[in-house]
Structure 1
């Protein structure tokens, strides 16, 4: 036996790096190495080292958080991009009824396409009599496989009869069906307003231009389908 070996068992040396211990209790009481701590350690004065005996610094949620973080990293997040519109083609179906509104929406959409580098030759505008006719034409364009997204623009303004409800509901369901049946994103850019003032406010007035907003949606959806969901 070596001369300098003590009679107590030889224990391996540990260098424990402890993270701050956060205790949410006003009645915290802890004894370690015969030392009483009447106040919990804080982030500004954490217990970093235990120099005598064995000790364990535990962060209650550390393991759980690490596992959760690992699972998050494994998830694929797919999203369309507004900066990858090069080569994408778009069709815009525009209702002629309430043309004073739909023209402003169309101008907003075209300006947005230009701003995001969509070439003029990659955009086709198709006019239809009214919002009721948008869906069938959008579906036909989608099935042609010439376009990555179809933007549908119209304006339905409430009148004195229930005609408004019939047209508004039919326009919405028609655009939805067009996208589902063709497999091409069909973007709903049809205004449904109570009066002309509301429509003007949403066609470039104080509420912005909904045609421009719909164009952004068309670019993002076209990019998503083309770069991530294309078979």
Structure 2
């Protein structure tokens, strides 16, 4: 009986031919170019479609409001009497912030209205008067057993926005919309801070921006 033919391996261009099997090419090594090589390739490729952010920002003009030199700024504050145990605390926080940032007391006008629903139309009137650099809107809407909460909260939010757009004067939203009284009190000087004070800071910055840059 004749012996089977000997098996031989033939290697050509990194490819190994095995008897009765298809060609299988050895995987090629992956080489990563050095940083200098990448720089050269980038230069040859021409301008990139994704320019460097820092390069793109060079020479741009940045405008923003300031929290200093606020003595001449004038503010209107519209505060709702409904849920006044909360809104009085918010107002107190706002007035203390104005004082802390050197806003003169005679440049602050506080207007009291029945509830948060009446805040936007009053803010719009003050904004259109041209007497104020910003209007701060303060109120508190607390969820009850009916859908009245949703109607008032939505109307207050959209109303304050539209008041600012219509008047061309920043109208800052400082109306709390909370599930219960505990949440409201926590945001009126409790463990969650005082949202009236935070809204006053926003009003100062926006007033400064409009007075010094966008006026």
TM-score, normalization by structure 2: 0.78
Q: Render the CA deviation track for 1:158-212: whole Å, top value 9, x for unaligned.
A: 0000000000011111101110000000000000000000000000000000000
In structure 2, distance between residues paired with 1:194 and 1:167? 13
In the alignment, is residue 75 of structure 1 matched against residue 32 of structure 2? Answer: no
In structure 2, distance between residues paired with 1:127 and 1:194? 24
Q: Larger helix proportion, structure 1 or 2?
A: 2
Structure 1 position 58, deviation (Å)? 5.4
Q: Render the CA deviation track for 1:25-50: whole Å, top value 9, x for unaligned.
A: x9579xxxxxxxxxx79xxxxxxxxx
Kindly report the root-mean-square deviation, in angstroms, between the aligned alpha carbons of the 2 structures. Answer: 2.2
Q: Equivalences for 1:63-212 in 2 at 5 Å?
A: 68-212=53-197
Unaligned regions of 5+ residues in structure 2, if any?
1-29
In structure 2, distance between residues paired with 1:108 and 1:143? 26
Structure 1 position 86, deviation (Å)? 2.2
Q: Render the CA deviation track for 1:79-106: whole Å, top value 9, x for unaligned.
A: 1111131200001000000000000000
In structure 2, distance between residues paired with 1:153 and 1:207? 17
SS class of match (1:80):
coil
Structure 1 position 68, deviation (Å)? 4.9
Larger radius of gyration: 2
SS class of match (2:185):
helix
Runs (4 or more) in structure 1 with deviation over 2 Å come to 26-29, 57-71
Unaligned regions of 5+ residues in structure 1, if any?
1-25, 30-39, 42-56
TM-score, normalization by structure 1: 0.72
